[in-house]
Amino acid sequence: MAGRVQIFVSHSSRDPNRKLFSEAFAVTHVKAEVVEFENIITLPWWKTIKEKVAASVATFVLLSKPLEELKHTQDWIDFEVGLSCAEDKQVWVFEPQGQEIRFLVPYCTYYCIYDPTEPYDAEVKRLKWYIDMYAGETSSKTLWTAPSVTCPRDDCLLEFRVMSNVDTFRCPSCRKPLLWNRQTGQTDPV
Ligand SMILES: [Zn+2]
């Protein structure tokens, strides 16, 4: 296992779109570090998670509807995002299209809306492309050239890159809607 690139996946085990992500990882050489608390054998939990986050090149946070009701999972995702931030890891927030998920991620460097409807071959391909950039199997230029957005809300101002072709979405941190002009970079509150 030594030397294999891994990405930490922070999610709810009840996420209905897990399959899409596992299919995408399966066609790469990158390991998805998915922690199921029931299966942690080295206690305490926090230590295992801290080590796994530190050993990963990035953290993928998968938002899903069930997450809204799962307080316990929310607390662990908060912890994992906090660790990732402290470790200067890139944090990706993935949100299924058309679902307004009531969960905020205070720190995020990439925000990606995806289409979870089957067949999702195109989305698997797109995810594979992102993951391959971390494996060095394709140029990582996009990671540094994807358009950057700063949330226009004075009480937020989160800066992150947007990996979807959208002109309106909700900031992953304050969860307020914004309008984005991809050409000029201008953002406005809705
Ligand atoms: Zn915001």
Spell out the domains of the chain, with CATH numbers in brackets: 6-189 (3.40.50)
Matching residue, tokens 């394709």: 138
Give the largest CA-CA distance in the chain: 50
Q: Could you tell me the distance, in angstroms and rounded to a whole number, from the CA of residue 110 to the centre of ligand 1? A: 13
Q: Where does the pLDDT of residue 38 fall: very low under 50, low under 70, confident under 90, or very high at 90 and above?
A: low
Per-residue pLDDT at 19 exceeds 60: yes
Tokens of 46: 């926090």
> What global pTM score does this model have?
0.95
pLDDT at residue 134, as a whole number:
94
Q: Where does the pLDDT of residue 173 fall: very low under 50, low under 70, confident under 90, or very high at 90 and above?
A: very high
Q: What is the mean pLDDT of residues 72-82?
A: 96
Question: What one-letter code names the amino acid at 167?
Answer: D
Q: What is the mean pLDDT of residues 102-128?
A: 96
pLDDT at residue 41, as a whole number:
73
Q: Could you tell me the distance, in angstroms and rounded to a whole number, from the CA of residue 145 to the centre of ligand 1? A: 21
Residues 6+ apart with CB under 8 A from 140: 133, 134
Q: Could you tell me the distance, in angstroms and rounded to a whole number, from the CA of residue 75 to the centre of ligand 1? A: 20
pLDDT at residue 1, as a whole number:
45
Q: What is the mean pLDDT of residues 72-96?
A: 97
Q: Could you tell me the distance, in angstroms and rounded to a whole number, from the CA of residue 171 to the centre of ligand 1? A: 5
Q: Could you tell me the distance, in angstroms and rounded to a whole number, from the CA of residue 172 to the centre of ligand 1? A: 7
Percentage of the chain surpassing pLDDT 70?
A: 97
Tokens of 25: 């990882």
Q: Where does the pLDDT of residue 15 fall: very low under 50, low under 70, confident under 90, or very high at 90 and above?
A: very high
Q: How far apart are CA 73 and CA 66, in angstroms?
A: 10
Is the dihedral angle over the CA atoms 100, 174, 34, 148 positive or is it negative?
positive
Q: What is the mean pLDDT of residues 111-131?
A: 95
Prior bond of 119 cis (ω within 30°)? yes
Among the listed residues 17, 153, 160, 25, the one whose alpha carbon sits nearest the alpha carbon of residue 98: 17
Is the dihedral angle over the CA atoms 179, 184, 185, 187 positive or is it negative?
negative
